[in-house]
Amino acid sequence: MHGSLRLVLATLVLLSHLGITLYGYNIGAGAVVVFYLLAGMVSYKLIKNNYKNKALSYYLDRIKRIFPLYSLVLLFSFFVYKLGATSHFLSAQPDSISYLSNITIIPLSYFMYNQTDSFTLLPPAWSLGVELQFYILAPFILLCTKRVALFFLLSFILYILATLGVLHTDYFGYRLIAGVFFMFLLGALIQKTINNKNYSTYTALALVYLTLIIILIYIYNINYKAPYNYETLFALLLGIPLLLKLPRRLFALDRYLGSLSYAVFLVHFPVLWLMELLSYSAKDVGLILFVTFSISIIFVSLEDFFLSLIKKNQIKYN
């Protein structure tokens, strides 16, 4: 059911960018956190089962998963930009570095330092940049318990300090890899717990869960609210039991919904810009949802077509 969950999460991200909140809380931020947990789960499973001591093969798997659809949607967004779309994210005159940042993705996750957000064709891709950094490190960390424990502890400390306001809450508690790396490792721990069902992994999860509850109670008592401390805490507290108990049966529709979720996540900003060019606004929620899902279906079909074409050519020439 992970594909279905991913589609729900992508839709929450979309709705958050249309200004929709839940009691004033950003639903998209919480969705991103659960995406991080899922990325950790998938990586642990891949490396444990398929790519143990095969980092290059793991990287190729992740590249194949991320970049074909990303490239198609990036071209679409560039086309919308050339049509005259306006946004804070399109406010700067792009240069070669700007285009390279959009293509390679990772620099987008450091927009607070390099100002890449002044020209970002796919604004949600900053979190994809964080995910890519985790994928780079994952083969060298996930199967070593001592490394997992060390990196988890260091990152979790940064997250706690950010959530309490000692460090920049938004940057270190939500956006930068240093402060959210533990979320990916937490996802890996969830998958390990599902696989092994042993006392030690359940105990580790319980300790983390209890710590998160204590932090939530503390910031509530001192009335400290900053982007996005409550959202990330609620997402972790809801995400851990959800992912532990969510059925993991694989079926074709669920896989397709997972692919569709990625397209929805990427394409909704250029769709919104295109709709604004046609004199619609973010208030036209139903229409934007319909257009986003329709275009996402087209892009998933295009991706499948191009990948099957490449595969056929490889077979032909081999």
**pLDDT mean values, one per 10 residues, the chain (318 residues):** 93 97 95 98 95 94 95 97 96 96 98 97 98 97 94 98 97 98 97 88 95 97 95 98 83 89 97 96 94 97 85 61
Structure tokens belonging to residue 278: 């046609």
CA distances from 313 to 67, 68, 72, 299, 310 (A): 19, 17, 20, 21, 5
Domain ranges of the chain: 2-317
pLDDT at position 308, please?
A: 82
What's the pLDDT at 249?
65
d(CA 156, CA 152) in angstroms, rounded, equals 6
Specify the DSSP class assigned to residue 164. T
> 189-198 contacts: CB < 8 A, separation 24 or more?
189/40, 189/148, 190/37, 190/40, 190/41, 190/240, 190/243, 190/244, 191/40, 191/41, 191/42, 191/44, 191/45, 192/44, 193/244, 194/244, 194/248, 195/45, 195/48
According to the model, what pLDDT value does residue 199 have? 83
- What backbone torsions phi and psi does residue 143 show, to the nearest 5 degrees? -95, 5
- Euclidean distance between CA atoms 58 and 142, whole angstroms: 13
Q: What is the pLDDT of residue 316?
A: 58
Q: Which of 240, 47, 32 is nearest to 138 (CA)?
A: 47
Q: What is the pLDDT of residue 253?
A: 87
